[in-house]
Structure 1
């Protein structure tokens, strides 16, 4: 298969490719929400103005075979100055409509042509069991590229194989320990209800309430809320609005007579739920509003016939209420086989090993 690359640098070019992108995803070897046009579009809007944002689109004649969005950032450290590329897909490292397509070969040739000082290419939150992970590491070894892989986190998920009642019995103890009589206490304080926003016309209103909650949550104090991070609220708002056009977005809120209290931000794709954000106002922490809301949404997703709820992000006390199963997710960094590339790799390894983290696995 002979491929050629068309680089998208202008926003207008990116907007024009939506139909071809959707057609490519319909035929893709692996279909995932993080490979959708909506995810890439939201990423573009998040990083544009901060970094060099581009999409490498790989074509066979008039057929789009793969599309890889990325940002290029300058690196300036002791002994290593150049460019680092961060690929913006997650879970699956790249899309393709054919396992025979030389996607990595073409993509890296393109990067080397465009960034003569290329030192590093990174893939984030990749599932080792998903398509492309083994191909990525095998290709790097064949090319003689040093690389550094480590498990970045464990991400819990709920696999839906039974009805909700049967599932609840397996989690009853943990859910009851978290809730006790808190729903009654919260109801006595101010009657609450659970609402959802999914229609394109309603998403903006729902998202504004979501942001209000996020800015009054514990995350705000930690500077990990959406508004405190570089362009993150733009990514999530754009993703919500664009996803609603495809019927992918559902924003769930627990609200009382005074204000919104807790939220869940979910994406629905291919029979799976991606629970990408959740939170509650910290002043309601003693009532466990996040658990109250998650119990209701989990019941809904069981009843509606979804196959899985991916709780996304790192394992924590809240997520392990709902499941003991998890995905292992990895960071993969590939380096130029040069003095500067090897120096950057050593610095990354040292930085990773300096924090209390899972042991890195070097496979080169």
Structure 2
């Protein structure tokens, strides 16, 4: 059976395939906002170095999309061109779109090997542990044996109908959260406000501005991928509007005398939610308001019917205290035999764990 595949190299040209993209996303298992066309359009300018879109779109039979891109990154062996997904560690998992992502990936790899090579390395860095066997099999189906490594661990919260989330927390953590609330209530008018619009509702830009205001005071402002840092700041306005329009936005603010002092900002889709960014005013750090805001946001997600909350890349202590499980994200890679620097990198990756120790090696690769 011949499969019609369209390769799109300009983000602006994706508008022509918007309907196919939407259809593929609608049937994608465990889909999330980061697989939406809106996200790709808005986040594309945020990557700081050269990159070229190689999105593969097929409407033959069941629609599918493999949003590949080629980007240049620098390593110890020198610059390399990576064929990968355009996620850039914004979240912890990514996969092709469609009812059968494994088949879509295999067809995408077949296309990559059948067309002129503009890459030194294929690196699917955000492969969730559930999709790992299918990803490995897709590589083997095109005749290569991929190199598999743990890229990061992600603390998650899995809600169950048998036991409320709050009952699963340690006694010490519950005491600390109650203490935080009492401290803040003693300081003024303490309020918690949630915003989770349905598709087409008012996007409430006042909530966006509240998060931005706290973000400018938070430690995240100094981070390259922080809520208000360059070049993210220029895109966040549009991201907020897009997520709200899709009905996939969920956020919580904590306020004192009407002024925001902490926030948690995330995206939800089909019962799965990702904590995208959070922050707090350092003037109130000693009250534990950051942990309290995350707790209130999680309770709201539970009450809204979410099943799995991904607290995002990185193993900060506050995430580990809130989580009740961990998930691993893998890098599934193939190094071109015709690219010398890529082969040097493959050789080093294969022996590096022995030099550093497996635990130290994995920690080095975690995204904080």
Q: Tell whether the structures are fold-level matches, with TM greater than 0.5.
A: yes
C-alpha contact 1:171 1:322 (8 A) present in aligned 2: yes
What TM-score do you get using the length of structure 1 for normalisation? 0.82
SS at match of 1:181: helix
How far off its partner does 1:270 sit?
A: 0.4
Q: For the Cα contact (< 8 Å) 2:67–2:96, is it kept in 1?
A: no
Question: Alpha-carbon deviations, 1:173-199, whole Å to 9, x = none?
Answer: 142343352222222223221223444
* Structural mapping, 1:58-207, within 5 Å: 58-61=57-60, 63=61, 65-74=63-72, 83-88=81-86, 91-98=93-100, 101=103, 103-112=104-113, 116-130=117-131, 133-145=132-144, 147-162=146-161, 166-199=164-197, 201-207=202-208
Alpha-carbon distance between aligned partners in 2 of 1:154 and 1:76, rounded to the nearest angstrom = 23
1:260-297 Cα shifts (integer Å, max 9, x gaps): 21011121210222222111111211011122222322
**What's the CA shift for 1:14?**
1.7
Which of residues 332, 336, 361 in structure 2 aligns to 1:357? 361
**Does the CA contact (< 8 Å) of 1:145 and 1:336 recur in 2?**
no
Instruction: Name the CA shift for 1:159/1:53 in 2 (closer, same or farther; >3 Å).
Output: same
In structure 2, do the counterparts of structure 1 residues 234 and 126 end up closer, same or farther at CA, with 3 Å as the change threshold? farther
Change (3 A) 1:344 1:159: same
- Tell me the alpha carbon deviations over residues 110-165 of structure 1, each in whole angstroms, 9 at most, x when there is no partner: 435665342112222321213xx22322333454546432222221222211377x
Q: What is the count of residue pairs matched by the alignment?
A: 353
Task: Give per-residue Cα distances to partners, 1:49-102, cap 9 Å, x unaligned.
Answer: 8533425233254x563212233223577876652223126624322334684x
Question: For the residues of structure 1 that align with 2:137 and 2:20, how far apart are their CA atoms?
Answer: 29
Partner of 1:43: 43
1:52 paired with 2:51, answer yes
Kept in 1, the 8 Å contact 2:194–2:297? The answer is no
Match of 2:320 in 1: 320
| CA distance 1:153–1:66, change in 2 (3 Å) | same
Deviation at 1:349, TM superposition (A): 5.8
Q: TM-score, normalised by structure 2?
A: 0.82
Q: Distance in 2 between matches of 1:143 and 1:113?
A: 10
In the other structure, the counterpart of 1:301 is 301
Per-residue deviation at 1:234?
4.5
1:27 aligns with 2:27: yes
CA distance 1:60–1:157, change in 2 (3 Å): same
CA distance in 2, matches of 1:78, 1:314: 23
Structure 1 spans left out of the alignment, 5+ residues: none
Partner of 2:220: 219
- Structure 2: tracts of 5 or more residues without a match: none
Distance 1:161 1:68, change over 3 A: same
> Following the alignment from structure 1 to structure 2, what is the Cα–Cα distance between the partners of residues 4 and 250?
37
Equivalent-residue separation in structure 2 for 1:76 and 1:359 (angstroms): 20
The answer to whether the 8 Å contact 1:111/1:118 transfers is no
Alpha carbons 1:21, 1:64 under 8 Å: kept? no
**Alignment root-mean-square deviation, CA:** 3.2
Tell whether the 8 Å contact from 2:9 to 2:53 is kept in structure 1 after alignment.
Answer: yes
DSSP 3-state at the match of 2:298: helix
Residue aligned with 1:305, SS: coil
Structure 1 stretch displaced more, 349-358 or 13-22: 349-358
